[in-house]
Amino acid sequence: MGHIRTSSFDPAKDLRALRDHFHGGATRPYRVRRDALKALKRALRNHEEALLAAMHADMQKPRFEGYMADIGLVHAEIGHALAHLSEWMQREDVATPISLWPATSAIHPQPLGVVLIIAPWNYPVVLALSPLVGAIAAGNCAVVKPSNEAPRTAEVVERIINEAFRKEHVHVVQGSGSAVVPPLIDGFHFDHVFFTGSTNVGRKILAQAAPRLTPVTLELGGKSPAIVDRKANIDQAAKRIAWSKFFNAGQTCIATDHALVHTSVMEPFLAAFAKHTERFYGKEPQRSPHFARLVNDRNFQRVRGYLADGRILFGGRNDAAERYIAPSVLVDIRTDSPVMNEEIFGPLLPVVPWTEPEEVIGIVQRNPTPLALYVFSKSRSTQGYFTERIAFGGGCINHCLLHFGNPELPFGGVGTSGMGRYHGKRSFDLFSHHKGLVTAGALPDPGIQYPPYARWKEKVLRWAMK
């Protein structure tokens, strides 16, 4: 099956053990699912400090951000699943058409089998364990592939999973994605593949899964805009966009990629944005313990290159030795420049003016179907105009990022930003097969469906199926 670099993974043996464990029915009972989720929660709590230290070592992620956007969200997802698991597992009785009487109909959620979860580096805990919560709640076995770009965190995630689960229930595979994933997908028939990462790699995952007709969920990205209307609370909009842009040094799939600001409020917006950025990180952000770093040299060089695509209004300082790029704002940008056509994934905000709403639609359509959209306006008609006219995965009105933290909301992309939805019950549904069953009654049926087909039978049929 190729070269899967991990000290404890034997593909032929361990993947078969996962399949056998599932087929044996061990993962299906409610008690087993509940206890597995509780075990994951305990293990996560036991290793919280190690995770926070590992994320800081991998990308200097601040403790607060590491807990808020990684560890805390997993705890919330587990808690939500435990509160609703029994309800989710119940069959759903549905109506039966009169043409099928006497019979009853119901939908039975069933686990898929053995699933593969491929996680990225930017949020290496939540994007590995949150999908796993749904897979376990739905009664599956799983293989989890953490990102080797955050190696210290990946090691702790493996310890957590090994502590919480038997290896025939959940197994971790480490190594480079390009070396590990293709032989995994080619050599074993997974029942679902869940991938979070870039659009380019997502296309490759989809192609690799196609020969076996393996269903795939792709959580990708794109250029998620914040649209600031002249009727917005400008100071508040600037504060919230700055928070979303520089959180995790901009390495967030739903970060504000660029801001489209009405010309009439451009000056006060930029002034407020600079003010709040300084309040967040001080006059020398490089010394701030609250500001992360780029994950590797490749991404540092890529993001630094965007600084040449416009006029640097503030920021721009960078240090290759630390992979540090200051919180920065670019103005006077051409819409055909790389920074306006590639996902930035760094602490650099292009700000583009607009006057008419149609201009905004035109700019967004250059990079259609973003993963997120943020609209800042007090006008409901303006809010509705942009949220209805633009195709996007999810988002907020008058804030940023918050929708990711609500397990009652489906999360996922559309078009080039992905396919499939998860969080809360959508995660359970994603990793379940909803089996429809009709149970015929014991009473004699009317018999109109059986030959010979008399004229009166056709009349009854037409009446019953109206």
Active site residue 396: no
The answer to whether 441 touches 104, Cβ cutoff 8 Å, is yes
Q: Are residues 76 and 169 in the same domain?
A: yes
Profile the chain (466 residues) by mean pLDDT over runs of 10 residues: 49 92 98 98 98 98 97 98 98 92 94 98 98 98 97 98 97 94 93 96 96 97 97 98 98 98 98 98 97 97 98 97 98 95 97 98 96 98 98 98 97 96 98 96 82 90 86
Q: Are residues 233 and 382 in the same domain?
A: yes
Q: Are residues 334 and 261 in the same domain?
A: yes
Beginning with the edge strand found earlier in the chain, give each strand of the sheet holding 114-118 in spatial order. Answer: 170-172, 141-145, 114-118, 192-196, 216-219, 418-419
- In this structure, is residue 191 part of a structural domain? yes
Q: What is the pLDDT of residues 151-210, one digit of tens each?
A: 999 999 999 999 999 999 999 999 999 999 999 999 999 999 999 999 999 999 999 999
Tokens (6 digits) for 15:
């993947």
- In this structure, is residue 127 part of a structural domain? yes
Q: Are residues 74 and 206 in the same domain?
A: yes
Beginning with the edge strand found earlier in the chain, give each strand of the sheet holding 328-331 in spatial order. Answer: 311-314, 328-331, 348-354, 258-262, 225-228, 372-376, 394-397
CA distance 446 to 338: 69
Q: Are residues 208 and 333 in the same domain?
A: no
CATH number at residue 381: 3.40.309.10
- In this structure, is residue 446 part of a structural domain? no
pLDDT value, residue 98: 85
CATH number at residue 160: 3.40.605.10
Q: What angle do CA 398, 404, 405 make, to 5 degrees?
A: 95
Tokens (6 digits) for 158:
């493996």
Q: Are residues 380 and 255 in the same domain?
A: yes
- In this structure, is residue 382 part of a structural domain? yes
Q: Are residues 190 and 272 in the same domain?
A: no
Q: Which residues pair with 373 in a beta bridge?
A: 395
Active site residue 400: no
Query: What is the greatest pairwise CA distance in the chain?
Result: 88
CA distance 148 to 154: 7
pLDDT value, residue 1: 38
pLDDT value, residue 108: 98
CA distance 222 to 414: 10
> What contacts 223, CB < 8 A, 6 or more positions away?
257, 258, 340, 341, 342, 343, 344, 367, 370
Please give the tally of structural domains in the chain: 2
Q: Are residues 421 and 401 in the same domain?
A: no
Q: Output the pTM of the full model.
A: 0.95
Q: Are residues 260 and 273 in the same domain?
A: yes
- In this structure, is residue 287 part of a structural domain? yes
One-letter amino acid of 453? Y
- In this structure, is residue 82 part of a structural domain? yes
Q: Which of 77, 168, 219, 343 is catalytic?
A: 219
- In this structure, is residue 460 part of a structural domain? no
The answer to whether 393 touches 217, Cβ cutoff 8 Å, is no
The answer to whether 403 touches 409, Cβ cutoff 8 Å, is yes
Q: Which of 253, 343, 396, 400 is catalytic?
A: 253
Cβ neighbour number for residue 53 with a 10 Å cutoff: 16
CA distance 359 to 363: 6
Q: Are residues 247 and 198 in the same domain?
A: no
Q: Are residues 232 and 206 in the same domain?
A: no
Q: Are residues 211 and 306 in the same domain?
A: no
Give residue 381's domain range: 225-412
Cβ neighbour number for residue 224 with a 10 Å cutoff: 28
- In this structure, is residue 445 part of a structural domain? no
